[in-house]
Structure 1
Amino acid sequence: MNLLKKQILGFFTKGHERTLLAKKNIIASFGIKGISIAINLALVPLTINYVNPTQYGIWLTLSSIVAWFSFFDIGFGNGLRNRFAESKAHGDVEKARIYVSTTYAILTLIFLCVWLVFFTTNFFIDWSKILNAPKELAQELSTLSLIVFSFLCLRIIFQTINTIIVADQKPALAGFLNMAGQLLGVIIIFILTRTTQGTLINLGLALGVSPIFIFIISSFIFYNGKYKEFAPSLKNIDFSFARDIMNLGVKFFLIQFGAIVLFQTTNIVITKVLGPEKVTVYNIAYKYFSVMSMLFYIILSPFWSAFTEAYAKQEYNWMKNSIEKLKKIWLLSIPLGLIMVLLANFAYKLWIGNVINVPISVSIAMAILILLSMRFNLFILPINGMGKIRLQLYVNIAISLVYIPMAIYSCKWYGLEGIIGANILVAAIHAVISQKQITRLMTTKATGIWNK
């Protein structure tokens, strides 16, 4: 017992200060993410029973379409994350404060303009055609789209507090705020199931207002407490700093846009080719196997800002050791994926009953996709932390040009398995290229496009 205590104590007290901070965040994040996963799993049957499988599929597809507009932040969130971490690493509090205030100001201006444009054009959009939904739902879907879009704009602005928390290498705290928003949403949906008739409008209001409420409260608390010296203010807004954020942020913006084309269009293609109910089947399998990626991301998340700091200080040995440890952890996820495939049908039945049938072939394909995506994220998060993202940008653009026709063709001929296969190919390409780049960066052999 004494030996075990020493080993546990040594785990939290020995090693590089940056590594110890990452360990503490990882341990805390496991508990938080465990609750978050449970909430997400509970939300699916709760939502399906509140509306119905077809309406749930419509909701997922509409959410995917509206999520496209999140790229209008032009990468300012991720740009702020790196610039804030760099400024704090160099002890430049004034610069960090200006970055924060300027980001809030720019995001507010951008999304106010975007909201006004959407509000005007929404009157002329027939959402029932876009979502392949019954004509009688047209008016309800128009109202729902405006609700969802309005909440999206507000969330992007107010979640800047989470960006600062993560940049300060405290992803567990950021995860807690996200979890709190999810929990509040589930509580509201549960109350609605007991008090109201299921409607998409109520669903949109409940899931939209919950995270925003949490972010507003947490912003008030942190900007009057721990992050008081970085609190946004009108006098600290300096639009000349916007270019510094945008130099990196625009690249992240284009990468995010490519990611949206690659992954958010999946729901749209499935809806158009196979119908809204198949979107529900796809997303149930995705949410089930995403448990693996959620757990893995808990371990990965502290390393973005940690690599920003390490790269600024040129601590390459620490970076190499960290990547090797992460590779070993990823290998452990392979047997976990196999076990989840074997238990898939039992898990689906236990989780959502007999409402939806997910073929075993879809489960196998989804497991492969998630594992490859985890491998890609293993390398790309540290690369993002270093800010060497131009290669990733070019690869995303190239793949985006061919993805949609490839996805439609695969879906028409091979169903859900086909479109998942298209995503597997994309994830494999990204994983191979990102591994080569991180290896070159850590050995200081990266030149040309590999180092930009």
Structure 2
Amino acid sequence: MTSQIRAQERNQKIIKTAWSGLAAKIITVSVSLVMVPLSVYYLGKEQYGLWVTVSSMVAMLSFMDGGAGNAVINLIAHSAGANDNNLVKIISTAFFSLAALALIGCLLFLAAFPFVSWGWLLGVPDSSPLTELNAVVIIVGIFFFVSIFTTLVGKIQRGLQEGSLDNFWAALASILSLIFVYVAIQNSASLLGFVIAFLVGPLLAYMTSNIHYYFIRRRDLRPQLGRFDRVIAKNLFAVGGMFFVLQIAGVLQGQADNVIIANMLGPAAVADYSICMKLFLIPPMLFGLMLTPLWPAYREAVGSGDMQWVKQIFIKSMRAALLISLPSAILLVLFGSQIIALWVNHGVVPSTGLLIGCGCWMVALSLGSAAAVVVNALQIMTPQIIAAFLSGVVNIVLTIWLIPHVGAEGAVYGTLISYVFCVVPIYWLYLRKVMR
């Protein structure tokens, strides 16, 4: 097969995944737009902020997969590009490795649980009952560890440039979550009942996705314990080790903000911050639809030696990032308060400083995401790890220092400043070198 034919097939798969992703993301965003005011109205600002904080805190455990989840995309895409017939071994090795890691991680989480003061960490007053809070943390933690291996099928599909399948199940997960939450609210569920209803939908969707893919669509790729390969496992975690450090850095850069705000200002402040941030992250989320199919496509192109295609698509993606994010940021900064008032109301009023900070972060994140996809696909890991880890540490320090001076908006400025000065320069230097 010539490089031109490969490029045509690659472009067709990208377009198919992008369009299906657009449909799925429209559904996901629409569900989110309904879910937020529904949740704030039912739970109130403080309990909603508490729920968001618990979710962020448990998401900080994402590094527990050892980076293997993201490494799977590269290994499968490279194997498909090189036609080395290792797909079943890679999938089987990844599936059972992540299942074991999820079990170990869950046991460690449950063992450490009694020794953490969750009320203090989440900014809950001492007078508040902590029994339900503890139950919420346990439930969210267990669901999270189960998702480590149930969502692996989506990464496999993306590695094979079948991202349209993962897009479908992601959309279904959102719809089921909304349905279950609505039923829970109609039955006057407690915070714990609300959380369980929210989490059950995605779990059912991805369990069904696994059954459909391995037992109906691609029986030839069904994980088999006998096909577990130690050499591939070693390679999986060697590549994953790089992503492991990146995930820790990503936690410091993104998920820590809500926990810090809750600890310093209380859960109600998290509601204002997270809702404003959620609004501004919609355009980058939609732009991410273009980027998602590019990762395996870049990697497959590298495997087949077509670096010229990588360069052309990367330049186009950076232009698209700027054209989409900048006008969106300006509009949301100008009219964000009115939009949030119509969307959520219930006392959620973002400050001008928070709106401006979120707008600047939107532009930086969009450009950085376009760069990160090609960097990950090319496995330029060491400089990226240094930049991300440094940025995460600086972000936490700046956030803790800024919040007492400017309020919750200090979190977004800490994130923005650390990203611009720690990540962007290193991305620029290495990508410029590689593209030349």
Partner residue of 2:432 out of 439, 443, 452: 439
Tell me the CA shift for residue 258 of structure 1: 0.7
For the pair 1:410 / 2:374, whether they are aligned, the reply is no
SS class of match (1:134): coil
Aligned to 1:228: 219
Aligned to 1:91: 83
* CA–CA separation in structure 2 for the residues paired with 1:123 and 1:14: 54
Unaligned runs of 5+ in 2: none
Tell me the CA shift for residue 14 of structure 1: 13
The total of aligned residue pairs comes to 429
Give the letter aligned to residue 434 of structure 2.
L
Tell me the CA shift for residue 39 of structure 1: 0.7
Tell me the CA shift for residue 346 of structure 1: 1.9
RMSD: 1.8
* CA–CA separation in structure 1 for the residues paired with 2:6 and 2:351: 47
Deviations 1:212-247 (A, max 9, x none): 111111111111233222110111112332111111
Tell me the CA shift for residue 121 of structure 1: 2.8
Tell me the CA shift for residue 399 of structure 1: 2.7
* CA–CA separation in structure 2 for the residues paired with 1:100 and 1:73: 15
Are the aligned partners of 1:341 and 1:363 in contact in 2 as well (CA < 8 Å)? Answer: yes
The residue correspondences of 1:34-433 to structure 2 (distance < 5 A) are 34-93=26-85, 95-135=86-126, 136-197=128-189, 199-333=190-324, 334-429=326-421, 430-433=423-426
Tell me the CA shift for residue 439 of structure 1: 2.5
Residues 227 and 440 (structure 1), Cα distance of their counterparts in 2 relative to 1, 3 Å cut = farther
Tell me the CA shift for residue 397 of structure 1: 2.4
SS class of match (2:216): coil
Give me the identity figure in percent: 25
Stretch deviating more after TM superposition (234-243 or 52-61): 234-243
Are the aligned partners of 2:53 and 2:122 in contact in 1 as well (CA < 8 Å)? Answer: yes
For the pair 1:30 / 2:22, whether they are aligned, the reply is yes
Residues 80 and 410 (structure 1), Cα distance of their counterparts in 2 relative to 1, 3 Å cut = same
Give the letter aligned to residue 369 of structure 2.
N
Are the aligned partners of 1:46 and 1:189 in contact in 2 as well (CA < 8 Å)? Answer: no
Deviations 1:50-95 (A, max 9, x none): 21110111111111111122211000111111111111112233x1
Tell me the CA shift for residue 343 of structure 1: 2.0
Residues 83 and 289 (structure 1), Cα distance of their counterparts in 2 relative to 1, 3 Å cut = same
Are the aligned partners of 1:71 and 1:253 in contact in 2 as well (CA < 8 Å)? Answer: yes
Are the aligned partners of 2:81 and 2:301 in contact in 1 as well (CA < 8 Å)? Answer: no
SS class of match (1:420): helix
Tell me the CA shift for residue 362 of structure 1: 1.0
Stretch deviating more after TM superposition (21-30 or 251-260): 21-30
Tell me the CA shift for residue 173 of structure 1: 2.4
Unaligned runs of 5+ in 1: 1-12, 444-452
Give the letter aligned to residue 257 of structure 2.
T
Stretch deviating more after TM superposition (430-439 or 100-109): 430-439
Are the aligned partners of 1:14 and 1:20 in contact in 2 as well (CA < 8 Å)? Answer: no
Residues 239 and 299 (structure 1), Cα distance of their counterparts in 2 relative to 1, 3 Å cut = same
Q: Which TM-score applies when normalising by structure 1?
A: 0.91
Are the aligned partners of 1:300 and 1:378 in contact in 2 as well (CA < 8 Å)? Answer: yes
Residues 105 and 131 (structure 1), Cα distance of their counterparts in 2 relative to 1, 3 Å cut = same
* CA–CA separation in structure 2 for the residues paired with 1:188 and 1:207: 7
Are the aligned partners of 1:25 and 1:302 in contact in 2 as well (CA < 8 Å)? Answer: yes
Deviations 1:180-230 (A, max 9, x none): 111111111111111224x22112211222211111111111112332221
Tell me the CA shift for residue 145 of structure 1: 1.0
* CA–CA separation in structure 1 for the residues paired with 2:6 and 2:229: 42
Residues 399 and 327 (structure 1), Cα distance of their counterparts in 2 relative to 1, 3 Å cut = closer
Are the aligned partners of 1:79 and 1:248 in contact in 2 as well (CA < 8 Å)? Answer: yes
Are the aligned partners of 1:126 and 1:138 in contact in 2 as well (CA < 8 Å)? Answer: no
Residues 122 and 302 (structure 1), Cα distance of their counterparts in 2 relative to 1, 3 Å cut = same
SS class of match (2:91): helix
Give the letter aligned to residue 181 of structure 2.
I
* CA–CA separation in structure 2 for the residues paired with 1:28 and 1:219: 19
Tell me the CA shift for residue 263 of structure 1: 1.3
* CA–CA separation in structure 2 for the residues paired with 1:125 and 1:428: 34
Are the aligned partners of 1:125 and 1:142 in contact in 2 as well (CA < 8 Å)? Answer: no
Give the letter aligned to residue 255 of structure 2.
Q
SS class of match (2:393): helix
Tell me the CA shift for residue 22 of structure 1: 1.1
* CA–CA separation in structure 2 for the residues paired with 1:323 and 1:399: 23
Give the letter aligned to residue 211 of structure 1.
P
* CA–CA separation in structure 1 for the residues paired with 2:352 and 2:405: 18
Aligned to 1:8: none
* CA–CA separation in structure 1 for the residues paired with 2:280 and 2:230: 43
* CA–CA separation in structure 2 for the residues paired with 1:172 and 1:362: 35
Residues 122 and 169 (structure 1), Cα distance of their counterparts in 2 relative to 1, 3 Å cut = same
Give the letter aligned to residue 118 of structure 1.
F
Are the aligned partners of 1:365 and 1:417 in contact in 2 as well (CA < 8 Å)? Answer: yes
Give the letter aligned to residue 102 of structure 1.
T
Residues 423 and 402 (structure 1), Cα distance of their counterparts in 2 relative to 1, 3 Å cut = closer
